[in-house]
Amino acid sequence: MLGALIMSKRGKKYISVSQKLDKKEILGFDNALLKMKELSYAKFDETVDVHISLGIDPTQGDQAVRGSVLLPNGRGKTVKVIVFAKGDYQDKALKAGADAVGEQDLVDKIIGGWMDFDYAVATPDLMGMVGQLAKLLGPRGLLPNKKTGTVTFDVAEIVEELKRGRAFYKNDKSGLVHFSFGKASFGIDKLKENLNSFLKALISSKPSSSKGKFLKKMTISSSMGLGIPVNPDDFSR
Q: Per-residue confidence at 5, pLDDT binned at 50, 70, 90? A: very low
Rounded Cα–Cα distance for residues 189 and 2 (Å) = 39
Q: What is the pLDDT of residues 176-192, one digit of tens each?
A: 999 999 999 999 999 99
Is 179 part of any domain?
A: yes
Domain extent for 170? 22-74+166-230
Q: How confident is the model at residue 226 (pLDDT cuts 50, 70, 90)?
A: confident
- For residue 141, being part of any structural domain is answered with yes
- Burial pattern 199-211, b for ≥16 Cβ within 10 A else e, equals bebbeebebeebe
pLDDT in the model for residue 14: 63
| Among candidate residues 163, 183, 203, the one where a domain is terminated | 163
Domain end position, chosen among 130, 147, 163: 163
Same domain, 99 and 154: yes
Residues 54-70: tens digit of each pLDDT? 999 999 989 999 899 99
Is residue 41 located within the same domain as residue 155?
A: no
The domain tally of the chain equals 2
User: For the segment 39-59, what is each residue's pLDDT rounded down to a tens digit?
Assistant: 887 889 999 999 999 999 999
Tell me, what's the pLDDT at 57?
94
- For 229-234, what is the mean pLDDT? 88
Query: Are 179 and 221 in the same domain?
Result: yes
Report helix angle 87-96 to 155-164, nearest 10. Answer: 20
Mean pLDDT, residues 120-134 taken together: 98
- Chain-centre distance for alpha carbon 111: 25
